[in-house]
Amino acid sequence: MDTSDPLITFDAHGVCNHCNEFDTVTRRNWFPNEEGARRWEAQAAQIRADGKGRDYDCILGLSGGVDSSYLALKVREWGLRPLVVHVDAGWNSELAVANIEKIVNHCGLDLHTHVVDWEEMRDLHLAYLRAGIANQDVPQDHVFFASLYHFATRNGIRTVLSGGNIATEGIFPQAWHGPAMDAINLRDIHRRFGERPLKTYSTVSFLEYYVWYPFIKKMRTARPLNFMPYNKEMAIAELESTCGWRSYGRKHGESLFTKLFQNHYLPVKFGYDKRRPHLASLIVSGQMTRDEAMVKLAEPLYDPKELEIDISYFCKKLRITRAQFDEFMTATNHGHADYKTWDSRYRLLKKAQGVAERVLGRRVNVYS
């Protein structure tokens, strides 16, 4: 990491706050060892018990990327019965579609694909581009998780399995982005810059996310990859050898939008190179040395010809001109907090949490 994170600090030994936080805080929730295996088996047993008598005992979101694909491979070994849900927001690469099919067929899993209305998705993408904020991935990320939560509750499923993990995502600068689940922020941006109503686009409200799902519906999100020695390169090798899954060559290459967003829009417009936190995560989790990471970081983000092809496709897909794309790239940058957020509600909720913990004499902390 470098000073592209405006909140980065360094101690007397030249070690940044990200590494220090990983060692003192994050590492306590990471169990790539026998203890992790025991902890996960206990969780898996509870998931199987909760789902007894139902068609499925959990939901697994599958994007076709490495993490979720590897998780799908492991789920069968644990004796879980997931309903696999894929949210198609209109940007899947052909390779991603092929990888999803290979995984599902190999593991014998049931797949439900939710196709997002493209005209609404397009309008929301353009609204975010006009808003000029860094996290252009929110329209995809929000509908992905919203669809999983809504589908889980409709089917009486209490556990969502996530491929998110500390080993490859343990470091991330919070100053770069706002929360993808902030529906107030999403709707304010769309209200200001959108051109058509979002009639079918799924969202999750503040109360749903923090109260309804975790406390009323008793839903939990489990991250099994945090309870095993998860190594990205070894996961790719196993996927390739067991079911013919093919690598994308870069992180999040399964989405044509995310590929352009992370490797061109963010570094050019905001100076954010997403490879930095990704490589830093691999370093602190012991999968790569710093010298090896610096070699990777020196590689170009894009081949010039490939970039032009991807920009052309992006413009055609969103029905904008190249001149409009260039205007988005050079327009004034904004932060997500320049628009309405649910931050004030979150602060009130944290105060209520503190009161509840003092009254009950124990922690009240649920992740949904």
* 350-365 pLDDT per residue, tens: 888 888 778 878 776 6
Q: What is the mean pLDDT of the chain?
A: 92
Rounded Cα distance, 222 and 160, in Å: 6
Amino acid at 195: E
pLDDT at 350: 87
Asked whether the predicted pLDDT for residue 113 surpasses 80, the reply is yes
Q: In this predicted structure, what is the pLDDT of residue 176?
A: 93
Rounded percentage of the chain residues whose pLDDT exceeds 90: 81
Q: What is the DSSP string of 164-180?
A: --HHHHS---GGG---T
Question: How many C-beta neighbours within 10 Å does residue 91 have?
Answer: 20
Token pair listed for 115: 């196709």
Strands laid side by side in the 220-222 sheet? 110-115, 82-88, 58-61, 159-161, 220-222
Residue range 215-235, pLDDT digits in tens: 888 899 999 999 999 998 999
Q: What mean pLDDT do residues 293-314 have?
A: 95
- Helical spans, DSSP H, in the chain: 17-24, 34-50, 66-77, 94-107, 118-131, 138-154, 166-169, 183-193, 206-207, 232-243, 256-260, 275-284, 290-297, 304-318, 322-330, 343-360
Domains and CATH numbers, the chain: 31-360 (3.40.50.620)
pLDDT of 254: 73
Do 261 and 136 contact (CB within 8 A), yes or no?
yes
CA-CA-CA-CA torsion sign (142, 148, 152, 155) = positive
What's the CA gap between 267 and 130, in Å, rounded?
18
User: Which tens digits make up the pLDDT trace of 17-56?
Assistant: 999 999 999 999 999 999 999 999 999 999 999 999 999 9
Please say if the pLDDT value at position 322 is more than 90: yes
pLDDT mean over 174-179: 90
Ramachandran area for residue 132 (φ above 0: left; ψ -120 to 50: alpha; else beta): left
pLDDT in the model for residue 364: 65
Taking residues 3-10, report their average pLDDT: 95
Taking CA atoms, 164 is separated from 168, 223, 239, in Å, by 8, 6, 17
* Alpha carbons 88 and 94: distance in angstroms, whole number: 12
Alpha-carbon gap, residue 327 to 238, rounded angstroms: 44
More confident residue, 64 or 363: 64
Rounded average pLDDT over 110-115: 93
CA distance 320 to 324: 6
Band the pLDDT of 252: cuts 50, 70, 90: low
What is residue 151's three-state secondary structure? helix
93: confidence class by pLDDT, cuts 50, 70, 90: confident
Which residues, at least 6 apart from 88, have a Cβ–Cβ distance to it below 8 Å? 113, 114, 115, 116
Can you give the pLDDT at residue 365? 64
Taking the C-alpha atoms of residue 319 and residue 79, their distance in angstroms, rounded to an integer, is: 46
Span 276-300, average pLDDT: 95
Q: Is pLDDT at 368 greater than 60 in this prediction?
A: no
Question: What is the reported pLDDT for 153?
Answer: 87
- Interhelix angle 304-318/322-330, rounded to 10 degrees, is 100
